[in-house]
Amino acid sequence: MDLGLTGKTALVAASSQGMGKAVAMGLAREGVRVAICARGRERLEATAEEIRNETQVDVFAQTADLSKVDDITRLVQAAREHFGHIDILVCNAGGPPPGNFLDFDDSAWQAAFELNLASAIRLCRAVVSDMKARGWGRIITITSMSVKQPIPGLILSNVMRAGVNGMVKTLADELAPYGITVNNVMPGSILTQRIVSLAEHREEEANTTTEEILDHIAQEIPMKRLGNPEEFANVVVFLASERASYVTGTAIQVDGGRIRSAW
Ligand SMILES: NC(=O)c1ccc[n+]([C@@H]2O[C@H](COP(=O)([O-])OP(=O)(O)OC[C@H]3O[C@@H](n4cnc5c(N)ncnc54)[C@H](OP(=O)(O)O)[C@@H]3O)[C@@H](O)[C@H]2O)c1
């Protein structure tokens, strides 16, 4: 299938490693010029170089902390100046800290809001007018399967992801007449640094090892394994493509069948 993506431009947020990087690489393999960002410069530049070397596409990289409004403004401005416009926006960010309800005060809730919900709102706001004027756009958010089934011990994430999904559903309705699709992709357990860090956090309290925790998670998944970032990215790349032109307002889990509910 020709995805019809050659020559498009994309901004993939939080993309120096993990799923964001896999999405940027996946888009670049389809001929998309990609802007990537992260806080840490060294890994970001190494990733940009890796994508350039493998795909020969133009990669624009800029450090940004997505929990900071000014960084987002600067990032989108610079990416737009570099490419002329942004066709595809992939909203992603780091995950908030694990913990239960009574572990968090207002400042922790505010920080999770800035990182995971406000960043998506701000990124969308920065690109939507341009997409409307051009009559074409793709917005894809990376959230979590917790939108469908909240995960114990991840209350900050559970709440913010649900907010992002609400925004996606509303925006999809509002932007459909302008040729812009808006979809949410929900990872289950994808083998990245984030899931390893969460397992390390549980290691001590569960009196076990990271490997055993990851293996235990795998046993809860019908496919009996964690996903890899490329498997996740393939779904995002399809949604970003011309071929997904009639898909909007969806929330798609990429979880190896882990969520058992029919909806
Ligand atoms: N992996 C899973 O199974 C899974 C499941 C459900 C949901 N999720 C969520 O999906 C998202 C991506 O996860 P991942 O597994 O790909 O994580 P990851 O491998 O840890 O990668 C996170 C990426 O985001 C960047 N980042 C983190 N905080 C940032 C910030 N404030 N501003 C800009 N960039 C930032 C990191 O670079 P810097 O550190 O240099 O900034 C890195 O490039 C997270 O929100 C995670 O909670 C993951």
209 and 237 part of one domain = no
Is 3 a member of any domain? no
C-beta 47 within 6 A of ligand 1: no
Q: 74 and 88, same structural domain?
A: yes
Token pair listed for 208: 């076990």
Mean pLDDT throughout 214-229? 97
Residues 207 and 122 in one domain: no
- Note whether residue 1 is domain-resident: no
- Any ligand 1 atom below 6 A from CB of 142: yes
Residues 6+ apart with CB under 8 A from 166: none
Position 206 scores a pLDDT of 80
Query: In the chain, how many domains are there?
Result: 2
Query: What mean pLDDT value characterizes the chain?
Result: 97
Is 62 part of any domain? yes
The Cα–Cα gap between 49 and 71 comes to 22
H/E element holding 205?
Answer: helix 193-205
**Amino acid 68: pLDDT:** 98
Q: How far is the CA of 93 from the centre of ligand 1 (A)?
A: 5
pLDDT band of 142, cuts 50, 70, 90: very high
pLDDT of 46: 98
- Is 187's C-beta closer than 6 angstroms to any atom of ligand 1? yes
Question: Which amino acid is residue 45, in one-letter code?
Answer: E
| Interatomic CA distance for residues 228 and 76, integer angstroms | 28
Ligand 1 mean position, distance from CA 14 (Å): 6
Distance CA(190)–CA(231), nearest Å, equals 9
Same domain, 232 and 220: no
Are 203 and 237 found together in one domain? no
Is 179 a member of any domain? yes
Using the predicted structure, report yes or no on whether residue 149 has a pLDDT greater than 90. yes
Q: What band does 143 get if pLDDT is binned at 50, 70 and 90?
A: very high
* Phi, psi angles (nearest 5°) of residue 26: -60, -45
228 lines ligand 1 (CB under 6 A): no
The pLDDT of residue 204:
75
Distance 38 CA to ligand 1 centre (A): 9
State whether the beta carbon of 26 lies less than 6 angstroms from ligand 1.
no
- pLDDT tens digits for 37-75? 999 999 999 999 999 999 999 999 999 999 999 999 999
How sure is the predictor about 201, in pLDDT bands with cuts at 50, 70 and 90? confident
- Does the pLDDT value for residue 93 go beyond 80? yes
Query: Nearest 5°: phi and psi at 138?
Result: -135, 125
CA of 198 to the centre of ligand 1 (A): 12
Q: What is the pTM of this model?
A: 0.98
Do 149 and 66 reside in the same domain of the chain?
yes
Element (H, E) at 93: none
Model confidence at 33: pLDDT above 90 = yes
Q: Rounded to the nearest whole angstrom, what is the distance from the C-alpha of residue 9 to the centroid of ligand 1?
A: 22
CA of 260 to the centre of ligand 1 (A): 25
Residue 216 is predicted with a pLDDT of: 94
Same domain, 115 and 235: yes
Q: Give the CATH number, domain containing residue 79.
A: 3.40.50.720
Residue 128: what pLDDT? 98
Residues 183 and 236 in one domain: yes
Between the two ends of the chain, the Cα-to-Cα distance in Å is 28
Instruction: Give the tens place of pLDDT for each residue, 9-30.
Output: 999 999 999 999 999 999 999 9
Residue 244 has a pLDDT of 98
Tell me the CA–centroid distance for residue 40 and ligand 1, in Å.
12
Residue 260 placed within a domain: no
Considering the domain architecture, whether residues 152 and 164 belong to the same structural domain is answered as: yes
CB 119 near ligand 1, within 6 Å? no
Ligand 1 near 256 CB (within 6 A): no
Pair 154, 220 in one domain: no
Alpha-carbon gap, residue 75 to 103, rounded angstroms = 33
Is there a single domain that holds both residue 115 and residue 221? no
218 token code pair: 């795998």
β-pair partners for 140? 90, 183
Taking only the tens place, the pLDDT of each residue in 157-177 is 999 999 999 999 999 999 999
For the stretch 95-125, pLDDT in tens is: 999 999 999 999 999 999 999 999 999 999 9
CB-ligand 1 contact for 19 (6 Å cutoff): yes
**pLDDT above 70 as % of the chain:** 100
| Residue 24 belongs to a domain | yes
Same domain, 130 and 117: yes
In a domain, 4, yes or no: no
Query: Could you list the residue range(s) of the whole structural domain that residue 153 is in?
Result: 9-189+228-254
- Assess if residue 262 is contained within a domain: no
What is residue 106's DSSP assignment? H
Q: Does residue 148 have a pLDDT over 90?
A: yes
